[in-house]
């Protein structure tokens, strides 16, 4: 018989220790493997029962798969995902506390990775460690899939997912980072919402390049290489891609209609029932709202020239696109070339990943996530949505039907803005609720 589960104290201190290790995957060449090896060793020290009772396999240098055996013949496993690498920090940014100090200030833990994604990682481990201490055995296998290069396209997670697919093992449920618990996600919505990603947009990076006459800047031709590339970038404006409303966004609007007040209730019902209308409304609102319904385009790097008074013979721009659900990398590339309409601009695909499928909401897997949310955040409604960023979960979603993206942490708008930004921080009480979420999810497995 399982003992009563009593969570260990000190969750903030353990997260702080992880934050102090700068596992910046984009700087792997400069920093080497030492930070990653140090963090993996620290996980072993902080979670001794996890490493004693779960079977560990390594996938590439940066992939960890820990399997907790459940009852035989119970069906596919529960896969809980997270990553332990973080993005770089600009040392000139005005952080309240140094980003790799892991500062604990009363109710908060500060530092790079507290939200993305060491905080979500640690609440998984806390839940498993606490359940093991109570003598609990899950009804089905529970697999912890942790990658160390999610921020650099996730080769570790890809290998882990491939290991499942190679042995025809289909997970019952995969849960990775993505949505969070938020207050008032849309106007006139009065209830907390646990935003659960049913799918994620694709990601692709292209390079636009052109050649032109070099020479002295005092006598420029009418069309230089720089001007040609700049014109191509300008043509890839917000109207490049037609808006369309995915099924998950219609479901999101329907859920918000149930919690909205006043005339907004009717408005959300209308938008949920008329996808063509919601696509146009969301596109007109711009920003994050428009990104739900269309492929976005952002020029992120420009190159060309060696001196202020010299015309470069070549110029280029790097452009990042987030591909809307319902489109593909191939169709997006065709649209970009048609929109630029300039045969002298070379469009090169540097990296591309199609959008994932949309997982269902009318199955036991989604119901399990919603039930665990109710245990940890009783006032929050389970609301489906589309994740606009890329996650390691996409590697599982190519063959597993029930893949969701939700980190069980409460995040304000300011906290969400701090992800990849300044003063990233997590509330300690949110970590405690995140542990409770994962514990409830594992306890209710059948």
Ranges of each domain in the chain:
11-200+357-443, 202-353
Please provide the average confidence, as pLDDT, over all residues in the chain: 94
CA dihedral 65, 66, 72, 73 (to 10 degrees): -30
* Strand ranges in 84-121 using DSSP code E only, listed in sequence order: 104-105, 108-110
Look at residue 133 and tell me whether its pLDDT is greater than 70: yes
Burial (CB count <10 Å: 0-12, 13-18, 19+), residue 3: exposed
Query: What is the β-pairing status of strands 173-182 and 403-410?
Result: parallel
**pLDDT score for 9:** 96
Phi, psi angles (nearest 5°) of residue 78: -90, 125
Task: Find the mean pLDDT for residues 376-401.
Answer: 94
If one counts every other C-beta atom within 10 angstroms of the C-beta of residue 342, the result is 17
**pLDDT score for 102:** 98
Q: Which helix (H) or strand (E) holds 81?
A: strand 78-83
Nearest to 427 by CA among 442, 411, 439: 411
Q: Are 163 and 66 in contact (CB under 8 A)?
A: no
Task: Find the mean pLDDT for residues 131-154.
Answer: 95
Give the separation between CA 168 and CA 153, rounded to whole angstroms. 24
Give the separation between CA 42 and CA 49, rounded to whole angstroms. 13
HSE, side-chain direction, 13 A CA sphere, residue 191: 19
> Angle 34-38-39 (CA atoms, 0-180°, nearest 5)?
120
What's the pLDDT band for 2 if we cut at 50, 70, 90? low
Task: Find the mean pLDDT for residues 142-147.
Answer: 98
Q: Are 57 and 117 in contact (CB under 8 A)?
A: no
Q: Are 315 and 229 in contact (CB under 8 A)?
A: yes
Look at residue 336 and tell me whether its pLDDT is greater than 60: yes
Query: What is the β-pairing status of strands 202-211 and 108-110?
Result: unpaired
What's the pLDDT band for 324 if we cut at 50, 70, 90? very high
| One CATH from 3.40.50.720, 1.20.1290.10, 3.30.70.360, 3.90.79.10 for 202-353 | 3.30.70.360
Cα dist from 81 to 66, 104, 112, 272, whole Å: 11, 25, 19, 31
What is the percent of the chain with per-residue pLDDT over 90, rounded to a whole number?
86
What's the pLDDT band for 208 if we cut at 50, 70, 90? very high
Q: Which two tokens stand for residue 347?
A: 């469009």
Predicted TM-score (pTM) above 0.85: yes
Give the separation between CA 162 and CA 71, rounded to whole angstroms. 24
Top CATH class of 11-200+357-443 equals alpha beta
Q: Are 320 and 272 in contact (CB under 8 A)?
A: no
Look at residue 183 and tell me whether its pLDDT is greater than 80: yes
Q: Tell me: the pLDDT tens digits for 271-320?
A: 999 999 999 999 998 888 899 999 999 999 999 988 899 899 999 999 99
Burial (CB count <10 Å: 0-12, 13-18, 19+), residue 252: buried
Q: Tell me: the pLDDT tens digits for 261-282?
A: 788 899 999 999 999 999 999 9
Conformation bin of residue 11: beta by default, left when phi > 0, alpha when psi is -120 to 50:
alpha
Look at residue 251 and tell me whether its pLDDT is greater than 80: yes
């Amino acid at each position: 018989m399982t003992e009563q589960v009593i969570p260990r104290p000190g969750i903030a201190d353990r997260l702080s220790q992880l934050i102090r290790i700068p596992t910046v995957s984009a700087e792997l060449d400069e920093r080497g493997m030492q930070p990653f090896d140090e963090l993996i060793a620290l996980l072993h020290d902080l979670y001794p029962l996890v490493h004693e009772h779960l079977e560990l396999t390594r996938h590439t240098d940066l992939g960890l798969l820990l399997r907790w055996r459940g009852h035989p013949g119970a069906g596919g496993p529960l896969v809980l995902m997270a990553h332990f690498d973080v993005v770089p920090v600009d040392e000139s940014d005005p952080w309240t506390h140094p980003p790799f100090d892991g500062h604990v200030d009363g109710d908060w833990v500060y530092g790079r990775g507290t939200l993305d994604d060491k905080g979500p990682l640690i609440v998984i481990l806390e839940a498993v460690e606490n359940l093991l201490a109570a003598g609990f055995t899950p009804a089905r296998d529970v697999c912890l899939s942790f990658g160390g290069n999610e921020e650099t396209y996730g080769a570790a997670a890809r290998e882990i997912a491939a290991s499942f697919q190679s042995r025809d093992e289909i997970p019952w449920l995969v849960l990775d980072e993505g949505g969070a618990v938020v207050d008032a996600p849309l106007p006139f919505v009065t209830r907390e919402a646990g935003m659960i990603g049913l799918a994620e947009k694709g990601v692709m990076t292209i390079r636009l390049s052109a050649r032109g006459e070099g020479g002295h800047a005092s006598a420029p031709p009418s069309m230089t290489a720089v001007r040609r590339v700049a014109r191509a970038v300008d043509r890839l404006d917000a109207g490049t891609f037609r808006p369309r409303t995915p099924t998950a966004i219609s479901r999101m609007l329907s859920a918000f209609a149930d919690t909205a007040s006043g005339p907004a209730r009717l408005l959300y019902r209308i938008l949920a029932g008329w996808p063509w209308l919601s696509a146009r409304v969301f596109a007109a609102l711009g920003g994050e709202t428009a990104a739900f319904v269309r492929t976005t385009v952002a020029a992120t790097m420009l190159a060309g020239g060696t001196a202020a008074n010299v015309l470069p013979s070549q110029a280029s721009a790097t452009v990042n696109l987030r591909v809307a659900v319902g489109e593909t990398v191939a169709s997006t590339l065709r649209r970009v070339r048609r929109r630029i309409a300039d045969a002298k601009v070379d469009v090169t695909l540097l990296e591309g990943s199609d959008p994932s499928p949309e997982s269902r909401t009318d199955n036991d897997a989604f119901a399990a996530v919603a039930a665990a949310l109710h245990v940890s955040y009783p006032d929050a409604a389970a609301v489906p949505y589309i994740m606009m960023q890329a996650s390691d979960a996409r590697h599982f979603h190519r063959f597993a039907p029930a893949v969701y993206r939700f980190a069980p942490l409460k995040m304000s708008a300011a906290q969400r803005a701090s992800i990849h930004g300044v003063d990233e921080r997590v509330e300690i009480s949110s970590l405690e609720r995140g542990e409770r979420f994962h514990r409830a999810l594992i306890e209710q497995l059948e």
